[in-house]
A and B are shown apart, each in its own frame.
Chain A
Amino acid sequence: MQDALTTLLLSALANRTFRYWSLLPAVLLFVALTLYPLVNLVRMSVSTIEFAQGVEIWRFTPRANFAQLLADDALRPALVNTLVFVVVSVTIEMLIGLALAIAVAGLARGKTWARTAMILPILVPPVAIGSMWKLMYNYDFGIFNQALVALGAAPVNWLGSTSLALASVIVVDIWHWVPFVFLILFAAVEGLPVDLIEAARVDGATRWQIVWRIMIPLLRPAIVVAFLFRTILAFKVFDEVFLLTSGGPGTATELINLHLYKVFFEQNQLGYGALLSLAVIAAIVAFLLVAQRVTVAVRAS
């Protein structure tokens, strides 16, 4: 078995074509499975789709769809809430995740246990997270209010007050997703070149200096990836909000993906819904570009 594998590895053909067959499977698979849905999405965004006699009927209506996008009253609060949600939760998650990654990597003992414990939140199915946190936030019987009352304070209307609802949802999101950032950054910290850090320590640098001047700059690629994917996932958040508040009270926790779900799915407006999802993608891209500019500016100062 070992010999067969070695022969295969050393075979000239495999090596000559390595460049191609290493990339091809990913490209083929991806194109096969994503081309049709994406093309379909674009086509839907400029059409109105109805059903009659069991058949789909498409009408080309780009103007009407765009007009609806501009006239959509629910869109503005959704966008604003989503932006606040993304900025606050991603920032906090990145900071906590980074700090934890470095802290856990610096543990002398129990690293594997800490690492396993840290990822428990993302192991729980999203539907269970939403239901359980809703119970914990419950006004009359939730554990937070029970603790507050036991300490002599007044119970708080976590999910029912328009000012607190979004913050409560953000807390759940942070609990849920810090492990994601942690996992990526922890792996990156473990992969840092030991000799460089050793040299700095021998030179007399303090722990803080090592972290700031050496570790974090070296972690940049991982930080970028964690930030990129965490942001995109934050824009797509659905389960937590749906189960905790359904977008209420009022429009306090109406997030863009929730609105999309209502339009595309509940109201069955496939065409406009497709356009809305393209608009969301555009918003994400715009946000990422702005974030990039901001980081460049911050680093320049």
Chain B
Amino acid sequence: MKRRRVAVREAAVAAPPAVRGGPAGRVLVALALFAIIGPFLWILTASFKYQIAIYSGQFPFTPTLSNYADVLFGRRSDFAGNIANSVVVAVASTLAVLIVGTLAAYSLRRFRWPAWVSAGFLGWTLLFHMVPVLTLIGPWYIAFRQLDLYDTRIALVLTHVTINLPMTVWLMSAFFREIPPEIEEAARVDGCTPLEAFLRVVLPLAIPGLIAAGILAFIFSWNEFPIALSLTSRQTATVPVAIARFAQQYETQHAQMAAASVISTIPAVLLMFLGQRFIVRGLTLGAVK
């Protein structure tokens, strides 16, 4: 039993490629990695430089940990608190949007809803996605203030779920389309209820999609700035708001901003790894092949 579970889990996460890539593919990946990691490495080195070394593009340079110290332990820094806020908001909103969005996507695909319901909901979410966030802040601020939810993490979670719902629904919808209905029918014939069929058969097959949607929802929530800025004050501020404080009126404190950015990627990457494992383990626990 355990061996089969492990086999299923590995199969879902790191399957051997259907088609082995050739040298062209490997070259492309190498180039892309260089282009992508290059600037990130630049940010990493900047975080260890003094501001003047960043300004004059010095290389080699005298490294320093003062930027990190300033960001984490400085007098006016609440960075640890900001990270905690971001973790809470991002994790909560990602879980919520995945659950709500996946269920909705499945429902729209599998159950016969009248056209006005499915097209209407999908269309409305897409249309809402086109609205510039700037115009939403005013009404939301007033609404949350009236509800006494201003400066709370709940308000952020709710708004982030709303912002990420369109992409999650559409993405999961596309992935559910790939799963042939015959598999579900076979499960139903075997005696599964609709709910069981969904949880035990369909969902495990959609794991790659869930991971992609989850990662995107998490990242968008983690990096979301305008709403977090308006709906929070110092104690509930998230990481992007804290980082924006380094972009001051006349000049940017590049060194500290780089350090803060590097620090902020660590919990994000950690959480994504864990989240991935969590999804895979949770869903393959009851998977039926």
In the complex, is A directly touching B at CB under 8 Å? yes
B130–chain A nearest beta-carbon distance, Å: 5
Write the nearest CB–CB distance from A224 to chain B, whole angstroms.
7
Q: Any chain A CB within 8 A of the CB of B73?
A: no
Contacting pair B36 A127 (CB below 8 A): no
On whether the beta carbons of A135 and B254 are closer than 8 Å, the reply is yes
Chain A window 26-39, contacts with chain B (Cβ cutoff 8 Å), 1 for yes, 0 for no: 11011001101110
| Contact of B36 (CB < 8 Å), options: A175, A210, A229, A281 | A175
Contact A264 B134, CB 8 Å, known A30-B124, A187-B211: yes
B104 on interface, CB distance cutoff 8 Å: yes
Q: Is the interface of B mostly helix, strand, loop or mixed?
A: helix
Contact call A9/B199, Cβ cutoff below 8 A: yes
Which B residues are CB-close (under 8 A) to A207?
A: 19, 21-22
A104-134 Cβ-contact flags toward B at 8 Å (1 or 0): 1111100110101111111111111001110
Once A and B bind, how many residue pairs between them come within 8 Å at the CB atom?
A: 287
B130 contacts A121, CB within 8 Å? no
Give the bracket for the number of chain A residues in contact with chain B.
35 or more
Given A22-B106, A33-B162, verify A183-B212 contact (CB < 8 Å). yes
Closest to A222 in B: B174
Residues 93-104 of A, flagged 1 when their CB comes within 8 A of B and 0 if not, give 000100110111
CB of A10 within 8 A of CB of B196, answer yes
- A280–B130 Cα distance when bound, in Å, is 8
Residue ID in chain B nearest A39 by CB atoms:
B139
Q: Which of chain A's residues have a CB closer than 8 A to the CB of B161?
A: 29
- The reply to whether A18 and B194 contact each other, CB–CB distance below 8 Å, is yes
Q: A183-B215, A187-B212 are in contact. Are A280 and B132 (CB under 8 A)?
A: yes
With a 10 A CB-CB cut-off, give which of A15, A112, A184 has the most chain B CB atoms.
A184
Which A residues are closer than 8 A to B by beta carbons? 9-10, 14-15, 18-19, 21-23, 25-27, 29-30, 33-34, 36-38, 40-41, 96, 99-100, 102-108, 111-112, 114, 116-128, 131-133, 135-136, 138, 141-143, 146, 175, 178-180, 183-184, 186-188, 190-192, 194, 197-198, 201, 207, 210-211, 215, 218, 221-222, 224-225, 228-229, 232, 235-236, 239, 243, 257, 260-261, 264-265, 270, 273-274, 277, 280-281, 284-285
Q: Which residues of B contact A (CB under 8 A)?
A: 13-22, 24-26, 28-29, 32-33, 35-37, 39-40, 42-43, 46, 54-57, 100-101, 103-104, 106-108, 111, 113, 117, 121, 124-136, 138-140, 143, 158-159, 161-162, 165-167, 169-171, 173-175, 177-178, 193-196, 198-199, 205-206, 208-209, 211-212, 215-216, 219, 222-223, 225, 239-240, 243-244, 247, 252, 254, 257-258, 260-261, 264-265, 268-269, 272-273
